[in-house]
Chain A
Amino acid sequence: MGAVTDATGTRRRTVAQPLVSRILRVTGPLVEMEYTGGIAMYDLVSIGPAGLPGEVVAITGDVVTVQAYEYTGGLAPGQTALPRGRPLSVRLGPGLLGGIFDGLLRPLSRAGDWLLPGAQQAVAEAPSWFFSPSVAQGEQVAEGQALGEVRDAGPVPVKVLVPPGCRGTVEGIADAGDHPRDVPVAVVGGTEVTVSALWPVRRPRPVRERVDSHEALSTGQRVIDLLFPVARGSTVAVPGGFGTGKTVLLQQIAKWCDADVIVYVGCGERGNEMADVITELSELQDPRTGGRLADRTVTIANTSNMPMMAREASIYTGVTVAEYFRDMGLDVVVIADSTSRWAEALREFASRTGALPAEEGYPAGLASAIAAFYERAAAVTTLGGDRGSVTVIGAVSPPGGDMTEPVTAHTERFVRCLWSLDRDLAYARHYPAVSWAGSFSRDVPVLAAGHRAAGDPAWSGRRDRVGAVLAEADRLADLVDLIGIAALPPRERISVLAGRLVREGVLQQSALSERDAYCGPEKTAALADAFLAVADRCRELVDSGISASSVEEVDFGPLLRAREDTGPHDAAGVAARRNAMLAGLGEMRP
């Protein structure tokens, strides 16, 4: 093992190269082989003539149990297996942005039409990168500090950092120019630093400290930004049955949220959908940089028919890539669609190893595995002293829409925000089908404080009022079903009307509409304010003796269409429509 691995902080072995081992048993992804020394838990193993990747999951006496990441058909006892002497690691460096990878971060763009077991290992990486140094020889540097930058495909510069656990004098630094991937560009305190390095996926990358985040991640989706906002570095779960628009919502966030880097992990989902995401991202423009959205995105595609076990790793691969960009002082969002498929991979393997099952056959460690995964999200001060964050948004696919099943139930406990997708809303074509009654955001208090500090004290009052309007309308809806709208007192009839207006005019958002797909924070606020003001005016009208039914018959169309008729940041346009609406209502006489 060269300096590259050492630089990542991987334990150094006193044992020489591990010896070639023999396969004893194969049953599905579970492979047993002889213990030949120099093998540690979670070490990587190349299995059989095709060199299938696998990971050591148990060592019992002289038998090592390996979980293979690919289809093991034809693999036979007696064939060789080669322990690699390091844990499952991915190569972090330039070339990730804009790229599409499998669950083990092997580039798919250079693989063939079909993914054959073991075939991708031979794929070579890009030869060299343009490096420009930012420190000089003789300078003192500490871990996490930038040594220079590499020019990557997109607008996000990729920094080369002093590896964790390494500090001292810059003994050598390369000149600006092209450098091959494996040739060191710097020597710090005796350690060689290359532009890319391996990092074990199951080990969180170190930070100086975790910090509280007061800043919201703007997603461009009104129901989220207004009612269930998420702070940078926070965690979100998105449970929803099939057909509730889960994937569309996540794709909208991948496209429009204001993070620097998006890591999109397609974990056990549809192949055609993945193809769609890839095509769309490369066609869409990033509204903030003018570049392609694809250039700020790392896509990890592990579709439902790709090897199950790589699906288990893909979640960790995704979050490790996110931490790599976070360490450069960037805000990163990891979108995992869907964590339920990941949990199923855990279950599948637990069952093969004969582990005692807990709920519904899932291993007893499911809850702690979910908790540990979400804990890798954080707003931090990096080793180099910058601010960075990793926000994790994980979809959950409850079987049969059953929210009490183990993955959904455990996930709810560990996340800070829940955007629960409702089948009835989706059936009524109310998209995004985020249920206001079944969702929560525990980030609201800190974000309210953040907004106050940033000079927007109205933010939390607006959220509370919209929430109250919806809750009141929901309460009355049950009553209306029983006794009919006409039997309600006028003020309550206006509450029902206000609920409908807020739902249709503010919460609904069309992912297909060019103007409505993304909504800036100022327009979200303007729309919410407009409908609250209209609701107030309507209430005044009925108080002054105008009949509720004549208020209900007013054509609210111009204001309801404001979300599609005005541009994504056109708060003034919304305000103008609000004023016109209010003026129209003002002319009503009993």
Chain B
Amino acid sequence: MSPADEIEYTKVRGLRGPLAIVEGVSGIGWDEYVRITLASGERRHGVVLDADRDLAVVQVLEGTAGMDPEGIRAAFSGSPLRVPVGTDWLGRVCNGRGEPLDGGPPVLGSHTAEVGGAPINPVRREPPSEPVLTGVGAVDVLTTLVRGQKLPVFSVAGLPHLELAAQIAAQATAAGEAFSVVFAGMGLTHADASFVRDALEERSAAGELVLLLNTADDPVIERILTPRIALTVAENLAFNEGRHVLVVMTDMTTYAEALREVSAARGEIPARRAYPGYLYSDLASLYERCGRIKGRPGSVTVLPVLTMPAGDITHPVPDLTGYITEGQIVLSPETHARGAYPPLDALSSLSRLMRKGAGPGRTRDDHLHVAAQLLAALAHARQVRDLADLVGQAALSPTDRRYLDFEEAFLRDFADQRSDEPRELDTSLERGWQALLTLPRSQLSMLPAQLLDAHGAKEFDAPDVREAP
């Protein structure tokens, strides 16, 4: 790792796009990390894309603009990029390459780890089984996040997904056990970056946060490193330091675009929408780093945030993400327009591992019942609303009209929340009950009788005068 061991090469045969071709090298390995010094003394960084006999094709992360083949010194580090790991990262704010932005010294660790990581042996994986509570009621009740899960947020430009991501990062807990958040921002605007810093200030000060911020004007290719550094730091905090770590990565669409840019520069054959054919494997190499390992404390939970270009869920980035991740939290412009935050599209959202992480012994005994009943009632309410649009509210049956009340109560009392308000799961569930109790007891068929009794569910026998036509 120390620069003294590195051999410097000065013969650059050519520069093309982001690539520099270094000549006369020997013993240079593929994917090795390179430090490049220009004649002016400026430092740049690169990765070996092709090690061909005595040539090394180096991809320059910061781009080749302003590079003159004369006077370039390329120092090869002897291994793929490694970063120091350890608890020193906690409380730090760094750029997308892991260099401090907070005025502090460079982050040091007791040892280093390869940013590419290694696949977890599937046999050694412990199936996820405990929740991470986000303090966001709708998410906790309807799409419970489970430790070791990967659950993306699918959003559309203009929706408050960054607020939601920051809120989850600021509030999430793991039942009092040691918990940390690694927040990787990719291609954020400066305004967004400073919003994130402000929103997470408290958590950072508490030494529970690692913040990596790659802004929109940072080198594009650096974006490819940002999530890998974040995950490498997170894996160490989880599996060596025994913490439960939540990794928030936003925005994965921007990441995929950076990948596409790099792929095009390498002259690779494009697949769908010009994204490289290996987009699936590449995304999997990030998302699959979540999990728990038998015999080790700690867990890595991944929450990628992505915007669906033009709201298209079949776009390669959300589509491939959906194939890899265990469910999705979908935000909807329609709910947003009705003024609810977070604008969750509850019916399209799903946490595949919820059954394992919620319910008796994990959250609350009635949790799964309440969630299932809320979703079933909401689905029916949607149908009723469509019907009401066709035939008018007056033509609805009294029960159906109650469903419209339910939908209103669901949005207003249950789903809606302030973006700086941490909500206890108990409170969220009770609010869910409140919404459900706007319906007659006979409609709550998914809830066991003793729960209905305990919450005083009624049949509303008496004709409701207010609603009489």
Contact = CB atoms under 8 A, between A and B. Distances in A.
Q: Is B truly associated with A?
A: yes
B12 to A, nearest CB: 18
A272 B29 contact: no
A307 B285 CA distance: 10
Given A305-B288, A397-B323, A74 B123 contact: no
Given A305-B285, A361-B270, A27 B118 contact: no
Contacts of A399: 272, 314, 316, 319-320
B116 interface: yes
Nearest to A246: B323
Contacts of A77: 26-28, 51-54
A270 B324 contact: yes
Given A109-B123, A361-B277, A400 B314 contact: yes
Interface stretch (A6-14, A113-121, A320-328): A113-121
B123 A278 contact: yes
A384 B436 CA distance: 67
Interface stretch (A340-348, A472-480, A520-528): A340-348
A73 B80 contact: yes
Interface in A270-324: 270-276, 278-279, 301, 303-308
Interface string B275-293: 0011011001100110101
Contacts of B320: 399
Interface string A10-28: 0000000000000011111
A242 interface: yes
Given A108-B121, A344-B281, A361 B30 contact: no
Contacts of A242: 319, 322-323
Given A74-B29, A304-B281, A347-B271, A274 B119 contact: no
Contacts of A401: 314
B53 to A, nearest CB: 5
Nearest to A275: B125
Interface in A239-261: 241-243
Contacts of B124: 111-113
A76 B30 contact: yes
Nearest to B320: A399
B122 A274 contact: yes
A357 B122 CA distance: 33
Nearest to B328: A243
Interface string B234-246: 0000010000000
A75 interface: yes
Nearest to A107: B123
A586 interface: no
Given A73-B80, A272-B353, A112 B121 contact: yes
A279 B31 CA distance: 36
Contacts, number: 175
Contacts of B122: 100, 108, 266, 271, 274-275, 278, 301, 303, 306
A351 interface: yes
Contacts of B187: none
A272 B148 contact: yes
Interface residues on B, range: 35 or more
A75 B30 contact: yes
Nearest to A398: B319
B121 A243 contact: no
Interface string A53-79: 000000000000000000111111110
Interface in A394-420: 397, 399-402
Contact of A28 (B30, B293, B316, B353): B30
A408 to B, nearest CB: 13
A74 B79 contact: yes
Interface string B72-86: 000000111000000
A348 B269 CA distance: 9
B32 interface: yes
B128 interface: yes
Contacts of B114: 73
A32 to B, nearest CB: 8
A360 interface: yes
B50 A25 contact: yes
B123 A108 contact: yes
Nearest to B325: A270
A368 B450 CA distance: 61
Most buried by A among B49, B118, B269: B269
Contacts of B293: 113
A144 interface: no
Contact of B49 (A27, A276, A308): A27
Given A271-B288, A348-B278, A114 B53 contact: no
Interface string B297-323: 000000000000000001110011011
Interface in B38-85: 49-54, 78-80
A306 B289 CA distance: 11
Contact of B281 (A72, A275, A278, A348): A348
Given A27-B49, A271-B288, A276-B127, A304 B280 contact: yes
B64 to A, nearest CB: 19
A269 B324 CA distance: 7
B125 A271 contact: yes
A505 interface: no
Interface in A325-374: 341, 344, 347-348, 351, 357, 360-361
Contact of A304 (B268, B270, B284): B284
A27 B50 contact: yes
Most buried by B among A112, A243, A278: A243
Contact of A115 (B119, B148, B350): B119
B296 interface: yes
B125 A75 contact: no
Interface string A98-114: 00100000001101111
Contact of B277 (A276, A304, A348): A348
A26 B29 contact: yes
A308 B278 CA distance: 9
B27 A78 contact: yes
A498 to B, nearest CB: 23
Nearest to A346: B277
A268 interface: yes
Most buried by A among B116, B277, B278, B294: B277
B31 to A, nearest CB: 4
Contacts of A305: 119-120, 281, 284-285, 288-289
Nearest to A301: B122
B143 to A, nearest CB: 13
A111 B121 contact: yes
A103 to B, nearest CB: 12
Interface in B336-375: 350, 353
Contacts of A360: 271-272
Contacts of B271: 347, 360-361
Contacts of A114: 118-121
Given A108-B123, A271-B122, A25 B51 contact: yes
Contacts of A73: 29-32, 79-80, 114, 116
B326 interface: yes
Contacts of B32: 73-74
A272 B277 contact: no
A478 B148 CA distance: 44
Given A303-B119, A351-B268, A275 B126 contact: yes
B254 interface: no
B353 A74 contact: no
13 contacts: A77-B27, A113-B293, A241-B319, A242-B323, A272-B127, A272-B148, A272-B326, A274-B122, A275-B125, A306-B122, A344-B277, A360-B271, A399-B272
Given A77-B28, A242-B319, A268-B284, 8 more contacts: A26-B50, A27-B52, A113-B124, A115-B121, A271-B291, A275-B125, A303-B284, A399-B272
Interface of B: 26-32, 49-54, 78-80, 114, 116, 118-128, 148-149, 239, 268-272, 277-278, 280-281, 284-285, 288-289, 291, 293-294, 296, 314-316, 319-320, 322-324, 326, 350, 353
Nearest 5 interchain pairs by C-beta:
A400-B314, A304-B284, A305-B288, A275-B125, A73-B31
